[in-house]
Amino acid sequence: MRGGGVKRVVLITLDGCGIGELPDAARYGDVGANTLGHVAEARGGLKLPNLKALGLGNILQLPGVPPVVAPQGGWGRMAEASAGKDTTTGHWEIAGIIEPNPLPTYPAGFPEEIIAALRRDTGLDFLGNVAASGTEILKVLGDEHLRSGRPIVYTSADSVFQIAAHEEVIPVERLYEICRAARRILDPYRIGRVIARPFVGDAPDNYRRTANRHDFSLSPTSPTILDALTAAGIPVFGVGKIRDIFAGRGVGDFVYSSDNRDGMAKTLAALAQLERGLIFTNLVDFDMLYGHRLDALGFGLALEEFDRWLPESQAALNVEDLLIVTADHGCDPTTPGSDHTREYVPLMVWSPAMAQGAALGVRKSFADVAATIAEAFGIPAGAGESFWRELAG
């Protein structure tokens, strides 16, 4: 393997799959967090033979996933250099942006000036304006929303402004318009994401959010590897919410996904049509369906499903291709609360051209991924330290 010799990189983010608390976890209330470790314990051991072969158990020995003598891929873990533990910050850092100042959060709700501006620009009144679980707030305010037609505004421990509305009360496209208005208002406040949260159902016990979620993100604060690739004429294809996370910047073609299974299928479809470039995939179910909902068993089953799919993705790669599997933060379903957790993330790298595995150690930043992709394609790198030479032997 030589720098500049790669044709395709497949970069897969297992959303929320942290692998142990960072040294500064206490600052975030996350002492003891270990998403993959605790999920493996809750499951009574994980069956992940293909991730084990790449070196997952060599990063951290997990119940059911012991270390192997000769991993087939590169393995290590990465610390987050940016301040924060949310999706935007994590993905931006993977793409080469290190944010020393965290995106703002509003645990007591948003200032009245923001709500008043949104009221003025949309002609609507709003319910909520509190920090809450997305499923719980529907149980509390869903009936009132159906009665009044007022959208529900809420936030979490992340830098997010979420707007929930029943699809039969406020059509999805209208909800998106409301979110676009919120995005314009919130740009000066540096709030990371405005999230449209459509739901269906007719009573608190059966309200459920739909796959029509849409994220309206703050534009990246500096150039990313996606921008650099695009400028060099190298295509970037986003799968899942990647385009949303980067506000469309640096992403050419893209497809949304309804769940992990759909995201995996669409990654394979992208490989079948893209001869050169970066395929950047986010698999969100680990975080959205299992981490935030404190479902460790479901989390484990989703990991096992990804592991069963992994050989299919590897079979679709050529000797000039590179696969990188990592995460953007933790979301430990066994810790108090339902928020993200400040953790290391796993790093597993594989190519058919690799003659042997490589210990990649503990990386100082997620941005090492961006630096490696830059070297792999032979374009200038920004932040981060490439691990390309370790892969090349």
pLDDT digits (tens, 9 = 90+) for 314-357: 999 999 999 999 999 999 999 988 889 999 999 999 999 998 89
Q: What is the mean pLDDT of residues 122-136?
A: 93
Confidence (pLDDT) at 349: 98
CATH number 3.40.720.10 is the correct assignment for the domain at 8-100+220-392: yes
Q: What is the mean pLDDT of residues 358-367?
A: 98
Cα separation, 305 vs 313, in Å, equals: 13
Asked whether residue 1 carries a pLDDT value surpassing 60, the answer given is no
Confidence (pLDDT) at 339: 87
Closest CA to 43 of 262, 304, 345: 304
Average pLDDT, the chain: 95
% of the chain exceeding 90 in pLDDT: 91
Residue with tokens 């809420």: 154
In CATH, the number for domain 112-217 is 3.30.70.1250
Confidence (pLDDT) at 3: 59
Asked whether residue 274 carries a pLDDT value surpassing 90, the answer given is yes
Per-residue pLDDT band at 148 (split at 50, 70, 90): very high
Asked whether residue 171 carries a pLDDT value surpassing 90, the answer given is yes
For residue 196, give the 3-state DSSP assignment: strand
Confidence (pLDDT) at 228: 97
Confidence (pLDDT) at 66: 97
Per-residue pLDDT band at 381 (split at 50, 70, 90): confident
Return the biggest CA–CA distance within the chain: 64
Q: Could you give phi then psi for residue 271, rounded to 5 degrees?
A: -60, -35
Closest CA to 183 of 172, 173, 193, 170: 193
Confidence (pLDDT) at 393: 66
Asked whether residue 2 carries a pLDDT value surpassing 70, the answer given is no
Q: Is 22 left (phi over 0), alpha (psi -120 to 50) or beta?
A: beta
Cα separation, 295 vs 42, in Å, equals: 10
Contact 79, 362 (CB under 8 A): yes
Q: Could you give phi then psi for residue 165, rounded to 5 degrees?
A: -155, 140
**Domain extents in the chain:** 8-100+220-392, 112-217
Higher pLDDT, residue 338 or 84: 84
For residue 15, give the 3-state DSSP assignment: coil
Cα separation, 62 vs 40, in Å, equals: 6
Pairing of strands 152-155, 127-131: parallel
Asked whether residue 5 carries a pLDDT value surpassing 90, the answer given is no
Q: What is the mean pLDDT of residues 125-150?
A: 94
Contact 165, 130 (CB under 8 A): no
Q: What is the mean pLDDT of residues 360-364?
A: 98
The letter for the amino acid at 284 is: V
**How are the residues of the chain apportioned to helix, strand and coil, as percentages rounded to the nearest 5?**
35, 20, 45
Per-residue pLDDT band at 4 (split at 50, 70, 90): low
Reported as a single tens digit per residue, the pLDDT across 10-23 is 999 999 999 999 99
